[in-house]
Amino acid sequence: MSGDGERGAALVFVLWLITAITVLTASLSTSRNEIVLDTRVELSRLRAGIALDSALEVAVEKLRTSGFEPVGELKLTFGDVAVDVRVSPESGRIDLNAAPEELIGGLAAASVEDREEAARIADAILDWRDENDLRRAQGAERDQYHRADLGYGPGDGPFRYVDELRLVLGMPADVAARIAEISGVHGGNAEIGLASIAAPVMRAKDLALGLDVPTGPIEEEANETPPFTTDAAGLYRVDIEAVVDGGYTRRTRAVVWTSPASPGRDYEILDYQGWHLPR
């Protein structure tokens, strides 16, 4: 490199260094209280995250050995972090990909009170998972997604995660959350298994059969946790909440497979979601 080139590069580096120092100085000029608060939040986030990972390991080991009878719940403490764990078999849920159309209709009707809205949601779910462009009576295919200016179309294939429900056209967030609670995508069963069938799933099944039962979600106080039973395929949903002393909260949901086909693996995580709720 020529002398002029070296001097030019050195000048650029000096200018970059001055800029970096200026930015750093501005950051450090933040009030001490804000720095302390940010540090506390970050430490709480890290402690809660470690607790979540540890609790998941404990839950999986318990599933592989002693189980969770009589109910799939566990309370743990890691230092100043209190952790609640809930485990339930996936076979007790409705498979979004394998369930027949009638059961998808029951699933929607068990999640919203209005039967017309339930029919629209069911058709939209079915149009999302099928591979054709033929729109159902109240469903939505590529043209409808394009007109809604969403920037994406229907999946035209199996749901990969239950959270994809939020992408279905016209799906309210609260309805998607209720459906996600009682549905899955990993079981592959057209029918609901006998394992730990929760009351909302039973309502969906009854509605699918055309029985005269109320539509809409079941009241929380009537929605008791069913007894824990083993999943024949070894598929479980694990919901974990970690609360740090002081109120900082993080939650995670995982679907684990305790009988994976892969050699050398004791278990496999098929789905993992996490979010935090600072208070």
Query: Does pTM top 0.75 for this prediction?
Result: yes
Q: Are residues 155 and 215 in the same domain?
A: yes
Q: Are residues 184 and 249 in the same domain?
A: no
Where are the alpha helices (H) located in the chain, listed in sequence order? 3-28, 32-64, 101-109, 115-129, 142-147, 173-181, 199-208
| CB of 133 closer than 8 Å to CB of 141 | yes
pLDDT along the chain (279 residues), means of 10: 52 54 56 61 87 93 86 91 94 94 96 96 98 95 96 95 95 95 91 74 93 87 73 92 91 91 82 64
d(CA 94, CA 275): 24
The answer to whether position 46 is within a domain reads: yes
Q: Check which CATH number belongs to the domain holding 71 and give it.
A: 3.30.1300.30
CA 231 to mean position of chain CA atoms: 20
Give the total number of structural domains in the chain. 2
- Predicted confidence at residue 278, as pLDDT, reads 43
- Predicted confidence at residue 194, as pLDDT, reads 63
The answer to whether position 79 is within a domain reads: yes
d(CA 54, CA 267): 15
| CB of 122 closer than 8 Å to CB of 111 | no
β-sheet bridge partners, residue 242: 83, 250
The answer to whether position 15 is within a domain reads: no
d(CA 133, CA 145): 12
Of the residues 204, 222, 240, the one at which a domain ends: 222
The answer to whether position 10 is within a domain reads: no
